[in-house]
Amino acid sequence: MERVDISILGREYSLACPAEEKAALTAAAQHVSQLSGRIQGTGKVSGNERIAVMAAIQIAVELLSMRAPDGLGSLAVGDFKRRIDTLNAILDQAGPLAS
């Protein structure tokens, strides 16, 4: 496990994650920190708890907007990528087509 130290709204957090997820966790934490800072900067929301809730709602909106259109079901972008990777692996195993 890797240790990741982050700061959000002036408060330090230490998180643990698998080494292969460290970059993604760091990027996610930076996104939360930037969004929280923007919300705090507006001066319309006070208190870290309220800012955290507003940031969580905004991130949920971002996530839901990345979902597939209605005709494709409720698959998220990550689901499409996994399916494409699976199909590519199957094609790689099949080898080249005979001419």
User: For 50-83, how does the pLDDT look when each residue is reduced to its tens digit (9 = 90+)?
Assistant: 999 999 999 988 887 776 555 555 666 677 677 7
Residues 35 and 60: their CA atoms lie apart, in Å, by 12
pTM of the model: 0.65
On the question of pLDDT at 97 being above 60, the answer is no
Domain 2-68 has CATH 1.10.3720.10: no
User: Amino acid letter at 14?
Assistant: S
Quickly count helices (H) and strands (E) in the chain: 3, 2
- Count the Cβ atoms, other than its own, within 10 Å of residue 20: 8
DSSP letter assigned to residue 98: P
Residue extents of the structural domains in the chain: 2-68
CA dist 40 → 5, 28, 87 (Å): 21, 18, 45
How does residue 89 score in pLDDT terms, banded at 50, 70 and 90? Answer: confident
Tokens 């094609």, residue?
91
pLDDT of residue 99: 44
Asked if residue 98 has pLDDT above 60, the reply is no
